[in-house]
Chains A and B, each alone.
Chain A
Amino acid sequence: MLSSKNSALESKDNEIFEVEESIAIQSELIKTMATMVNSKAYVNERNQMGCWKQANYHVEQNNKIVDEELSDWESKFFEVDMDDLHELFMAANYLEIESLLNGVAKRVADIIKACMNVEVIRQTFGINNDFAAQQEEEIRKLNSWNHI
């Protein structure tokens, strides 16, 4: 561990987390806020835990672990339901943690890739079809040039 200095972070639910400073600064937001006095980060509690867990692991394993093990852990870490994933995504975005952001984005991309067709994508992500019927047909035609 690089430093033993801990920072106290208060979440939206008024719970206080003690986190290693080296991990805390993985979040760009915290880093910049740390320079300001008396600032608080308002994030949903659950995601604080999730984010720190991941950031913690990253810092710990940074130089020694082999790539495969890291990605194994990561793939298990991201196997949560869509709601959790969503929250994790928003939290990572808000806290500006680059590695976490990329991890979640990759997981979402994999989910999209695994979807067999448009309907499944819409269902999975709760996307509303805002095309008028005629427009939709046009769009489908435009995008079906790759099918036999």
Chain B
Amino acid sequence: MSWKNELPDELWRKILEIGIKASNFTFKDLCCVSICSRRLHRLSNEDLLWSHLISVDFPNQTSSSSSAKSLYKIRFEREKERKLWAHKRAVLRKESQVSEHLRKLREIEVRLREERNKLNSSLLELSNLHKVSQASVALNVWQPEVVRGRQKQMVEQCVVPVESRVHALDMEVKLCNQQLQVFDKAYRDEKRRLDTAKEELKSMKYHPLRDYTLSSTENQENRKKRKKLKNMHQLFQKPENFLAF
């Protein structure tokens, strides 16, 4: 089974041409073929093939001279640079989004605390006023002198008109509760947004190789795992194995 020796050049050319036009050959496939043998190296470097790739991947760009393959390589590397920087910018943007969400969450937490304090003090005052009104009611019936004395003291010490104050406090408690609900919802929403942004950031930063070579805790299992993955990592270093990506 010796294809290469028996197929004439023009048939290989046809295969490569059709590969580009109909089988979605990429620059990677052409490079692979060119490593195979001298003849294939010559045949796969032809301008016709690479010009076609250029017009597909980098259209609307005026070309100067030199071989089509080296031109493609230049354009490709430029594009790669560009994409790298765009990615970095995107990661930075996402990170600032995350810190913005965190800041807002802190703010909401502060307001929640304030509101809860308000609520608690209102409730406290309410319970005191209830005691006072109970006392003034109780004064209308017979009480032992000790108790009566205490109750009289309580009623006299209260300087505010009890009933109206109770109404006002009831309103305030209601409002506080409403406000707390609003803040709670806002907190939940913001937390959700924060979590989403964190997830997005994580997936943006993910790199299959880099993450495996990081070490966290030093126990036996992790050491074994790292050794196995280190071998995989070395496997990935060889160019031909990388072509799967």
Contacts and interface: CB of A to CB of B under 8 A. Distances in A.
Contact of B76 (A108, A116, A145): A145
A106 B21 CA distance: 10
Interface in A102-148: 102, 105-106, 108-110, 112-113, 115-119, 121-122, 125-131, 136, 139-140, 143-148
Contact of B38 (A105, A110, A130): A130
Interface string B4-20: 10111001001111110
B37 A139 contact: no
Interface stretch (A4-12, A17-25, A39-47, A82-90): A82-90
Contact of A143 (B15, B18, B35): B35
A92 to B, nearest CB: 9
B31 interface: yes
Contacts of B15: 105, 108-109, 112
A140 B35 CA distance: 6
A93 interface: yes
A92 B187 CA distance: 72
Contacts of B37: 122, 127-131
A29 interface: no
Interface stretch (B102-110, B115-123, B219-227, B237-245): B237-245
Interface residues of A, number: 38
Interface string B206-245: 0000000000000000000000000000000001111110
B137 interface: no
B76 A113 contact: no
Contacts, number: 112
Nearest to A119: B240
A125 B32 CA distance: 13
B240 A117 contact: yes
Contact of B34 (A83, A89, A139, A148): A139
Given A105-B14, A108-B15, A117 B38 contact: no
Interface stretch (B22-30, B85-93, B165-173, B192-200): B22-30
A91 to B, nearest CB: 12
Nearest to A102: B18
B48 to A, nearest CB: 15
B52 interface: no
Given A106-B18, A109-B23, A146-B28, A121 B3 contact: no
B2 interface: yes
A1 to B, nearest CB: 30
Contacts of A126: 1-4
Contacts of A90: 6-7
Interface in A9-56: none
Contact of A147 (B24, B38, B242): B242
| Nearest 4 pairs of A and B residues by beta carbon | A109-B19, A117-B240, A143-B31, A109-B23
28 contacts: A86-B3, A89-B11, A90-B6, A90-B7, A102-B18, A105-B18, A110-B23, A112-B19, A112-B23, A112-B32, A113-B29, A116-B240, A117-B241, A118-B32, A119-B240, A121-B32, A128-B4, A130-B38, A131-B37, A131-B38, A139-B34, A139-B35, A140-B239, A143-B32, A143-B239, A144-B31, A144-B239, A145-B73
Interface of A: 82-83, 86, 89-90, 93, 101-102, 105-106, 108-110, 112-113, 115-119, 121-122, 125-131, 136, 139-140, 143-148
